[in-house]
Amino acid sequence: MEGETSWFSHSLDDMAREIGEFDSFSELSDEGNKEATAVSVDLILPDDLLERILAYLPVASIFRARCVCKRWYEIVSSKRFLWNFSRVLSQKPWYFMFTSSNEPTGYAYDPILRKWYGIELPCIETSNWFIASSCGLVCFMDNDSRTELYVCNPITKTCRKLQDPPGLRFSDYSALAVSVNRKSHGYTISIVKSKQVTGNFFQWDVSVHIYDSETMMWVTSLTEVLTGWRGGDESVICDGVLYFLIYSTGGGAPENRHGLITYNLSSCSPHGLLIRSFIPVPCPLTCGRLMNLKEKLVMVGGIGKQDRPDIIKGIGIWVLNGKAWQEIARMPHKFFQGFGEFDDVFASSGTDDLIYIQSYGAPSLLVFDMSQRHWRWSQKCPVTKRFPLQLFTGFCFEPRLEISP
């Protein structure tokens, strides 16, 4: 058995201590005959089989497993264990909730063990940075110059600073997205920048910039002027296609305030008209949140009232099939009321089968399971609202150990 440790083992030590603040390994262990059984099984199992078993544990349980004995410590810290872990298709996404608007501090929610862990994020400076995630990696972009970009693994704390993206240095709106290849671990980052044409509120310059981790280079793949529409801050990459929301700049019906644009990253044609790929939203929305669930585009949207489309009356979830939206679920009224006062805009993100929804005004977190069509509240976050105007936000990410930027 290789007892070789890697850079990864130091991050595990730090993470194990952080997890220990709220949840100790002893809570998952029973005394008496159950403990004796675990020891006897441990003696019987060969290293390669034990590696495979441990690789299927939730990430938080893997951290605790290192504390059981020297043998388990060496197994979990080895490169061969990381290879076995990479064979596990996916981990249920965690949700990181910021608890301060000035510092990148907060707690991460584990939906499997239903527990919150204190985690420090690398690279990011404040919670208002742009954030996108895919398959264990998280991309951060500053909200000032929008040229400072980092890609990191929040579990292992590995981080890489990217070169400045091309295009406008100070755009009015920017939308960030990242897509990781699960096999090669290469990744693609996209930034959609939007800036008003000087002296013309109805026309907006829109540009798409793509970063490829294999070439480590940025390419400006498209620049176009939209009339009557502008870009925003919502985008996602699904199965090689970039999707981003656009917003009406006036002149149309009040209920048609949002639209969806698609852009195939494999073709990257600089001459195609973006507006030709326009897909209307399924109903009047107060806001829309895009996410990639198993390479399918999913949108969580605030449903506007019929007579006042800017006022939220509920929340719906849709999946895009071709160019048609299919409604998957609507939030039951008891959960909608459970948030208390719900703003017209809110935070929502998801991956795999889970969607998280959070009001900016409270630390309450609602989870929707797409496969089971089931709604449930998370365990209460160990943070309380300290003052009336305190805001909360967050993002979800898949906890992976073997992926690094």
Q: How confident is the model at residue 166 (pLDDT cuts 50, 70, 90)?
A: confident
Q: Region 176-188: what's the mean pLDDT? A: 94
Q: Region 161-185: what's the mean pLDDT? A: 90
pLDDT in tens, 341-352: 777 899 999 999
Q: Region 177-204: what's the mean pLDDT? A: 93
Q: How confident is the model at residue 175 (pLDDT cuts 50, 70, 90)?
A: very high
CB-based burial label for 244 (10 Å; 0-12, 13-18, 19+): buried
Asked if 155 and 79 sit in the same domain, the reply is: no
Let me know if residue 82 belongs to a domain. Answer: yes
Q: Region 208-236: what's the mean pLDDT? A: 93
- Across the chain, what does the average pLDDT equal? 84
SS (H, E, C) the chain: CCCCCCHHHHHHHHHHHHHHCCCCHHHHCCCCHHHHHHHHHHHHCCHHHHHHHHHCCCHHHHHHHCCCCHHHHHHHCCHHHHHHHHCCCCCCCEEEEECCCCCCEEEEEECCCCEEEEEECCCCCCCCCEEEEECCEEEEECCCCCCCEEEECCCCCCEEEECCCCCCCCCCEEEEEEEECCCCCCEEEEEEEEEEECCEEEEEEEEEEEEECCCCEEEEEEEEEEECEEEEEEEEEECCEEEEEEEECCCCCCCCCEEEEEEECCCCCCCCCHHHHCEECCCCEEEEEEEEECCEEEEEEEEECCCCCCCEEEEEEEEEECCEEEEEEECCHHHHHHCCCCCCCCEEEEECCEEEEECCCCCCEEEEECCCCEEEECCCCCCCCCCCCCCCEEEEECCCCCCCC
Let me know if residue 25 belongs to a domain. Answer: no
Domain final residue pick, 86, 118, 135: 86
Give the per-residue pLDDT at 253: 59
Asked if 97 and 80 sit in the same domain, the reply is: no
Let me know if residue 36 belongs to a domain. Answer: no
Let me know if residue 103 belongs to a domain. Answer: yes
Let me know if residue 279 belongs to a domain. Answer: yes
What residue numbers bound the domain in which 60 lies? 45-86
Asked if 77 and 135 sit in the same domain, the reply is: no
Asked if 303 and 181 sit in the same domain, the reply is: yes
Asked if 103 and 64 sit in the same domain, the reply is: no
Asked if 209 and 246 sit in the same domain, the reply is: yes
Q: How confident is the model at residue 13 (pLDDT cuts 50, 70, 90)?
A: low
Give the per-residue pLDDT at 8: 42
Residue 162: give its domain's CATH number. Answer: 2.120.10.80
Let me know if residue 13 belongs to a domain. Answer: no
- Could you count the other beta carbons within 10 Å of the beta carbon of residue 13? 13
Instruction: Give the chain's domain count.
Output: 2
Q: Region 121-137: what's the mean pLDDT? A: 91
pLDDT in tens, 244-300: 999 998 765 556 789 999 999 987 666 568 888 999 999 999 999 999 999 999 999
Asked if 278 and 324 sit in the same domain, the reply is: yes
Give the per-residue pLDDT at 63: 78
133 pLDDT exceeds 70? yes
Let me know if residue 229 belongs to a domain. Answer: yes
Give the per-residue pLDDT at 39: 52
pLDDT in tens, 296-329: 999 999 998 888 888 899 999 999 999 999 999 9
Asked if 380 and 313 sit in the same domain, the reply is: yes
Residue 61: give its domain's CATH number. Answer: 1.20.1280
Rounded Cα gap, residues 360 and 347, in angstroms? 7
Give the per-residue pLDDT at 42: 64
**Residue 196 structure tokens:** 């008003």
Asked if 82 and 94 sit in the same domain, the reply is: no
pLDDT: which is higher, 81 or 305: 305
Asked if 338 and 378 sit in the same domain, the reply is: yes
Asked if 142 and 58 sit in the same domain, the reply is: no
Asked if 150 and 76 sit in the same domain, the reply is: no
93 Cβ neighbours under 8 A, 6+ residues apart: 111, 350, 351, 352, 354, 356, 396, 397, 398, 399
| 45-49, 161-165, 309-313: least confident range | 45-49
Task: Tell me the chain's radius of gyration from C-alpha atoms.
Answer: 22
Let me know if residue 208 belongs to a domain. Answer: yes
pLDDT in tens, 363-392: 899 999 999 999 999 999 888 777 777 788
Nearest alpha-carbon partner for 58 in 9, 83, 92, 109: 92
pLDDT: which is higher, 343 or 203: 203
